Amino acid sequence: MLPPSPHPETGPTDAVTLPRSLLEGVGATAPGAAWIQRLPQLVQRAQQRWQLQLAEPFGVGTASWTAPGRLPDGTPVVVKISYPHDEARHEAAALRAWHGWAAVELLDHHHEDWALLLRRAHPGTPLLHDTSAADLRLGHGLEVLRNLHQADITDAPMAHLTTVSAHWAPLAAARADRWATMLSGGERLVRAGLDLLHAFGTPGARPGPVVLLHGDLNPGNLILDAPTQGAGHWLAIDPKPMIGDPAYDLWPLLAQVDQPFTAADPLALVHHRVQLASQVLQIPALRICEWALARTIEALLWQLDTFTDPARQAAALGDLHQAQVWYHLAYG
C-alpha cells in the first residue's frame, strides 16, 4: 500500500514495533492503550492464520497497525489490524464490493480480530506525494470516486449517511454552544453548517442518489498501483464506508489536493475545481459545496472539542476561512 519498508522481513516474533503515530493516536486513550497491549497477540495470530512473512510496520496510521509482507507463494500483501471502532466496522464489506478495481483488493479478513489481508500495491505512492499538476491529481481522484460510486449496494451493511448526520447534528450543535465565545465573528457560517447537518440528517429533507461512499477520500488515501512499466492506476485505501449522497465524498479531495485556500484567489480556484467535479461525477455543484460547508464546520467543532492545546485550537479556527469560501460558492 505504501513504499517498501527498508527493514528486512522476519518471521513471527513476540515483539511488535509500534509506530509513534499509533501510540499518539488511539494509544493516547485508555481503551486504545488496552488494545495496544493485545496487539502483539493479534499480529501473531495473523501471521499464523495466513502463514505470513512480515516486515516492520509502516510508520503511519493513528487507528490501525499495518505492515507489508508475503504469502507462502510470494504474493506481496499488507496486513491491517484496526482498533475496533464504528468507522472501520464495514471496511472489509466495502473492499469486497469494490472487487479490487478502484480500491485495494481484499484477499481475506478476520472479523473478530479486525484484521484485513490486502494485496499490496506497488509502488504505493500516495497521491499526496505526486508531483503532477493539481488538476491532473484531482482528475485521478475523481475517476476513482466515479468507480467507487458504481458499486452494488444491495444488502450493504453500512450505516446510511442520513442516520450518521442525524447523530452528528446535535453533537456539533452542543460543541458550537460550548465554544461560542471562541467562534465569535463566525456565527453565520457555524449556523449554516449546523443547519445543513440537521437537514442532511432528516429523512426526505434532501433527497438524492444513494451510493457506496468511501467516507475519507483525501489525497493520502489514494495510492498508485503500477507493478509493471505502464502508467498504472490509482487505488483507494482506508475507507470509512457508508451509503448515501455521493456529494459527501468530495470535500477531502477538493480541500486537500493541494492548498487551495492559500491561493491568491481561493474562491476562483475552488469554484473551478467544484465545476470540474460536478461535470465528471454528474453531481450538482450546490450539493458539493453544501456538504463541504457542513463537513468543514463539523470538523472545526470536533477539533475545538478534542484538542486542549490553544495553538491547535487557534489553527482550527482558520477553517472558518475555508467555510467562508464554501458558503460563498453555495449561496453567493
Tens-digit pLDDT profile for residues 92-148: 999 999 999 899 999 999 999 999 999 999 999 999 999 999 999 999 999 999 999
Is 135 part of any domain?
A: yes
What share of the chain in percent tops pLDDT 70?
A: 95
Is 320 part of any domain?
A: yes
Q: d(Cα 232, Cα 13) in Å, to the nearest integer?
A: 35
pLDDT for the residue 270: 98
Give the pLDDT band (50/70/90) at residue 227: confident
pLDDT per residue as tens digits for the range 132-188: 999 999 999 999 999 999 999 999 999 999 999 999 999 999 999 999 999 999 999
pLDDT for the residue 312: 84
pLDDT for the residue 77: 98
Q: d(Cα 284, Cα 6) in Å, to the nearest integer?
A: 45
Q: What is the mean pLDDT of the chain?
A: 92
Average pLDDT score over residue span 229-248: 92
Is 14 part of any domain?
A: no
pLDDT for the residue 59: 87
- Same domain, yes or no: 178 and 292: yes
Asked whether the beta carbons of 64 and 74 are under 8 A apart, the reply is: no
Is 5 part of any domain?
A: no
Asked whether the beta carbons of 28 and 147 are under 8 A apart, the reply is: no
Q: Is 311 or 287 the better-scoring residue by pLDDT?
A: 287
Number of domains observed in the structure of the chain: 2
- Same domain, yes or no: 203 and 62: no
Is 13 part of any domain?
A: no
Q: d(Cα 250, Cα 295) in Å, to the nearest integer?
A: 10
Show which of 61, 89, 120 is a domain's final residue.
120
Q: Is the pLDDT of residue 229 over 80?
A: no
Q: d(Cα 63, Cα 32) in Å, to the nearest integer?
A: 8
Average pLDDT score over residue span 74-81: 97
- Which residues, 6 or more positions from 30, have their beta carbon under 8 angstroms from its beta carbon? none
- Same domain, yes or no: 53 and 167: no
- Same domain, yes or no: 26 and 64: yes
- Same domain, yes or no: 114 and 26: yes
Asked whether the beta carbons of 57 and 65 are under 8 A apart, the reply is: yes
Which whole-number Å values give the CA distances from 101 to 35, 91, 141, in the listed order? 32, 15, 14
pLDDT for the residue 23: 93
Which whole-number Å values give the CA distances from 110 to 106, 114, 290, in the listed order? 11, 6, 38
Is 83 part of any domain?
A: yes
Domain interval for residue 91 = 20-120
pLDDT for the residue 9: 36
- Same domain, yes or no: 217 and 319: yes
- Same domain, yes or no: 212 and 268: yes
- Same domain, yes or no: 165 and 53: no
Q: Is the pLDDT of residue 6 over 50?
A: no
Give the pLDDT band (50/70/90) at residue 1: very low
Q: d(Cα 181, Cα 179) in Å, to the nearest integer?
A: 6
Q: Is 294 or 5 the better-scoring residue by pLDDT?
A: 294
Is 6 part of any domain?
A: no
Give the pLDDT band (50/70/90) at residue 58: very high
Q: d(Cα 76, Cα 136) in Å, to the nearest integer?
A: 29
pLDDT for the residue 12: 35
Show which of 75, 94, 120 is a domain's final residue.
120
- Same domain, yes or no: 145 and 108: no
Q: Is the pLDDT of residue 3 over 80?
A: no
CATH code: domain of residue 323: 3.90.1200.10
- Same domain, yes or no: 91 and 183: no
Is 316 part of any domain?
A: yes
- Same domain, yes or no: 183 and 206: yes
Nearest to 190 by CA among 93, 113, 296: 296
CATH code: domain of residue 45: 3.30.200.20
Show which of 98, 120, 142 is a domain's final residue.
120
- Same domain, yes or no: 163 and 311: yes
pLDDT per residue as tens digits for the range 256-273: 999 999 999 999 999 999
